[in-house]
Structure 1
Amino acid sequence: MKANPNRAIAIWLYFGAFTILIQILLGGITRLSGSGLSITEWKPLMGFLPPLNENDWQLSFGKYKQIAQFQVVNPHFSVEDYKSIYFWEWLHRNWARFIGLAFIFPFLYFLIKRKMNLKLLSLISVLFLLGLLQAVIGWLMVQSGLNDTDTSVSHIRLAIHFIAAVILLCYTLWLAFSLSLNQVKMRHRLRFSKLNLIILCLVFIQLIYGAFMAGTRAALAAPTWPDMNGFVIPPGLYTQQITLSYLTGNLFAIQFIHRFLAYTICLLILVLYFRSVSWKINSLLSYIRLSPVLLVGVQVISGVMALLNSIGTHYQAFALFHQFTGILLSVSLLLLLFLNLKKN
């Protein structure tokens, strides 16, 4: 087998994807700890430095005191309490800066060494544009909570920020797959590319509704399972006028859709697997075909546990793990789709 001339670039992209995954998890921790509004300014260059002395801390804390989250949710906070939430937002932003450096410096090296053709250069340029867009979306999300009325960020902007990060991750991985798996011979395929793509799209919609669940704390509206406060379908869904605002803003509607999508995705993944379980396919594809089945099972269980513990002390751990497995499920379906679409 010939040596892969793009191996170094693929490794760089895989590492970049790993840093994006870490950033998504840090974003989850930042949200769950209520830290997202602790830094009220956006300084892309100089913002990497935290307050360096007591006066700086008091100045930063004073700006935080001006927003509703402090006045309504955290009026008891001392500067020491403030430091604990400041840390996660500061780390989240600095990890974003690290991601930028982790992409820019190797890119410049490969560019100088002429390791990339024009097509690859254009594809990686799109990656940088997506990264820049994600940074802007992140700040617009934070801005939505920096006022004297809202105690948290807009759940719509939170969902946009989250799904944009997942798209960035998937785009980076797709490029890495195309550079590292191009020599893998696929003598047999599942012939389920369309179903695979449909499931992946549904997972993306599900991730958006997962962000709605998180941003509105919709789990608290019906922290029961398998019913929703004794109902299979919330009564309001029969009587309310179904509008986009209702489907994206009503707590019961958000949770019902999130549950319905979970069951639908689980069923479709099982259909994809069992309809092809007896086929003689590549061992690589056989293992990868099984991974969505395992992950969707873990995802459903972790989602139920997060729901049932939404009023308990372990909610954050379950919610973060649920988010993590959702991303892994997306990646497994993306890889399966890539292998089924390969030309050779």
Structure 2
Amino acid sequence: MSSTATTTSPMEDPMRPVRIWLYVLAVLILIMVAVGGATRLTDSGLSITEWKPISGIIPPLTMEDWQAELEAYRQIPEYQLINKGMSLEEFQFIFWWEWGHRFLGRVIGLAFAIPFVIFLFQKRLNWQLAPSLFILFLLGGFQGFLGWWMVSSGLTERVDVSQYRLATHLSAACILFMAIIWVVRRLRHVDPIWVERGWRPMIWAFGVLVFVQLIAGAFVAGMDAGLAYNTWPLMDGALVPDNIYTSSPPWLDAFEDITTAQFNHRTFAYIIALFAAFLVYKAWKNTQFAGVHGWMLIIGALVLTQILLGIFTLIYVVPLGLALAHQVTAFLLLGAIIAYLADMKAENER
């Protein structure tokens, strides 16, 4: 999709409201990620045992409604094995987190649909943009399905959700966020500036590595692996603990063994730090961060922030605020990488 923005003033730019709309959607997704993380960390995700896309928007209004919701929760393993005897007040605490997470998902759906129809009637949207918006719509709707698919894994035989499904749900949310950033950055004017041959493939490779790290982090979260080995830089007294990759087949430990999952997450962080340092140095040496290459300075700062947040989240045994900041910063880092790539693509086309 070629850039459709012009150099006209903001009042004359028909795409400015569209860009604002897409940025608002991106911010809403970041909030959704934070609320989802809080829902997981407060063990609230299984408090609503049914998926009601329409009627579920109305929370319990009477004591009878609340008792019915609590009774439904009492039927699942999490209550029977972990929270047996939970009071109604305690149940309401976890219920509101999950209800808020689902409610925000519905808000995001409306925030997409209503402006889309308005812009369509205003003829701000063209056929070049339509395929991108349609893909965003599909990704958003699919995310809702993935959320329930994840929750359903913890309603019968488990006391928590599957780490595989949690990783899928979080990864899909990240893909949606990155897709929005890509689309919105392609709708703006970018002043041409030289981009070294081979530079963009390196940034793509870096982005893929960071995305893999996000998936690895999802498995750490899904297995509560951050609650173990709360020291840094050593794990169990060593840089490389003895009890990793000991299963048969060994690769399965990356997804099902707490020690291996945390070790992998740490190792990816070291690789990313070294790769980022190289890219920041090269960008400074060749461009002094001029033009869109200023993104590389932001990316470097986000990598450093993310690593520090990860270390403090670990050594303080996953406090809510630090854990949520760590998760949201991962999205911001990937968003910055995608914005950088989108801006460079626009430069090469002008």
TM-score (norm 1): 0.94
Q: How does 1:102-251 map to 2 (within 5 A)?
A: 102-147=111-156, 149-179=157-187, 181=188, 183-189=189-195, 191=197, 192-237=199-244, 239-251=246-258
**Residue equivalent to 2:321:** 317
Question: Is the Cα contact below 8 Å between 1:29 and 1:320 reproduced in 2?
Answer: yes
Once the two structures are overlaid, the 10-residue window that deviates more, 205-214 or 105-114, is 105-114
1:329 aligns with 2:328: no
Report the AA paired with residue 205 of structure 2.
I
TM-score (norm 2): 0.92
Q: CA RMSD in A?
A: 1.6
Deviations 1:38-91 (A, max 9, x none): 011111011011111001100000000111111122113101110011011111
Once the two structures are overlaid, the 10-residue window that deviates more, 78-87 or 315-324, is 315-324
Report the AA paired with residue 284 of structure 2.
V
1:339 aligns with 2:343: yes
Name structure 1 gaps, 5 residues minimum: none
1:63 aligns with 2:72: yes
Say which SS state the counterpart of residue 283 (structure 2) adopts. coil
Question: Is the Cα contact below 8 Å between 2:150 and 2:166 reproduced in 1?
Answer: yes
**Residue equivalent to 1:289:** 296
Going from structure 1 to structure 2, the CA distance change for 1:321 and 1:282 (only over 3 Å counts) comes to: closer
1:281, distance to aligned residue in structure 2 (A): 5.6
Q: Distance in 1 between matches of 2:59 and 2:236?
A: 45
Once the two structures are overlaid, the 10-residue window that deviates more, 199-208 or 185-194, is 185-194
Q: Distance in 2 between matches of 1:261 and 1:17?
A: 26
**Residue equivalent to 1:302:** 309
Q: How does 1:239-278 map to 2 (within 5 A)?
A: 239-278=246-285
Deviations 1:162-215 (A, max 9, x none): 010010011011111111x2x211222355211111111111111111111111
Question: Is the Cα contact below 8 Å between 1:25 and 1:320 reproduced in 2?
Answer: yes
Question: Is the Cα contact below 8 Å between 1:186 and 1:282 reproduced in 2?
Answer: no
Question: Is the Cα contact below 8 Å between 1:39 and 1:86 reproduced in 2?
Answer: yes
Q: Distance in 2 between matches of 1:341 and 1:268?
A: 22
Q: Distance in 1 between matches of 2:245 and 2:327?
A: 30
Of residues 286, 289, 295 in structure 2, which corresponds to 1:279?
A: 286
Say which SS state the counterpart of residue 224 (structure 1) adopts. coil
**Residue equivalent to 2:30:** 21
1:242, distance to aligned residue in structure 2 (A): 4.5
Corresponding residue pairs, total: 338
Deviations 1:285-334 (A, max 9, x none): 24321111111111111111111122xxx622221111111111111111
Say which SS state the counterpart of residue 89 (structure 1) adopts. helix
Question: Is the Cα contact below 8 Å between 1:142 and 1:153 reproduced in 2?
Answer: yes
Report the AA paired with residue 163 of structure 1.
S
Report the AA paired with residue 330 of structure 1.
L
Once the two structures are overlaid, the 10-residue window that deviates more, 238-247 or 10-19, is 238-247
Question: Is the Cα contact below 8 Å between 1:190 and 1:276 reproduced in 2?
Answer: no
Name structure 2 gaps, 5 residues minimum: 1-6
**Residue equivalent to 1:72:** 81
Report the AA paired with residue 184 of structure 1.
V
Say which SS state the counterpart of residue 78 (structure 2) adopts. helix
Once the two structures are overlaid, the 10-residue window that deviates more, 42-51 or 272-281, is 272-281
Question: Is the Cα contact below 8 Å between 1:38 and 1:82 reproduced in 2?
Answer: yes
Report the AA paired with residue 21 of structure 2.
W
Question: Is the Cα contact below 8 Å between 2:246 and 2:253 reproduced in 1?
Answer: no
**Residue equivalent to 2:4:** none
Q: Distance in 1 between matches of 2:16 and 2:209?
A: 32
Matched-pair identity in %: 38
**Residue equivalent to 1:33:** 42
1:110, distance to aligned residue in structure 2 (A): 1.6
Say which SS state the counterpart of residue 84 (structure 2) adopts. coil
Question: Is the Cα contact below 8 Å between 1:13 and 1:172 reproduced in 2?
Answer: yes
Question: Is the Cα contact below 8 Å between 1:187 and 1:282 reproduced in 2?
Answer: no
Q: Distance in 2 between matches of 1:92 and 1:24?
A: 9
Runs of 4+, deviation exceeding 6 Å:
none
Q: Distance in 1 between matches of 2:315 and 2:191?
A: 45
Report the AA paired with residue 165 of structure 1.
A
Report the AA paired with residue 187 of structure 1.
I
Report the AA paired with residue 149 of structure 2.
L
